[in-house]
Amino acid sequence: MFLVAGLGNPGGEYAHTPHNLGFMVVDSLAEQAGIRVKTRDSSALIGKGLLEGKPVMLAKPQTFMNLSGAALKPLMEKHEIGIEELILVFDELDLAWPKLQIKPKGSGGTHNGVKSVVASLGSREFCRVRLGIHPGHPLRDAAEYVLAPFQRSQKKELDELVGIGADAVRSIVADGVEKSMTKFNRRA
């Protein structure tokens, strides 16, 4: 079973912020596949179903972003999900808005949520779908930027980025990371 984990922060005040792009992609996948992501399990909201004919668990950790690994590790242990079946979806300040990049593995970089997952799992060997949020100009306060609501002018690109993010996840599940990188990373 694949575990598609979208990173974000719980609570309505964060719902439409760049830091919650991972949650938005999981919600989009859930809607498309008819999966209800409502069950509480290991500090996450989860839902199980099929994506591209394969069993998946969609998850939204309910710890705050910087503690995402504390929710994912027990979830993966409980359901016997291996590191190779994890697809982590998150916002990426080191990537320009609205770009997408699939990576088969790597460090946590500057993203505290990903650093938490790497530290908790003791591995960097999991697939990532990185959703670019950098505005293209210097930022005074990165934390303030990622937690501020999206601007109305970003709505169309936001919807497209979430859609492409969901497409990328479905491609990884159906065709694997390498083929999906060839297909999606060229756009970046």
Class in CATH terms, 2-187? alpha beta
- Catalytic residue, chosen from 16, 19, 79, 137, is 19
* DSSP codes of every residue in 89-147: EEEEEEEETT-EEEESS---TT-HHHHHHHHHHT---SEEEEEEEE-SS--S-HHHHHH
Q: Specify the pTM.
A: 0.96
Task: Please state the domain extents for the chain.
Answer: 2-187
**Which residues of the chain fall below pLDDT 70?**
187-188
For residue 186, the model assigns a pLDDT of 73
Q: Is 80 exposed, middle or buried (0-12, 13-18, 19+ CB in 10 A)?
A: exposed
For residue 86, the model assigns a pLDDT of 98
**pLDDT tens digit sequence for 35-80:** 999 999 999 999 999 999 999 999 999 999 999 999 999 999 999 9
For residue 141, the model assigns a pLDDT of 93
For residue 187, the model assigns a pLDDT of 62
Catalytic site includes residue 19:
yes
For residue 110, the model assigns a pLDDT of 86
Asked whether the beta carbons of 40 and 49 are under 8 A apart, the reply is: no
For residue 167, the model assigns a pLDDT of 98
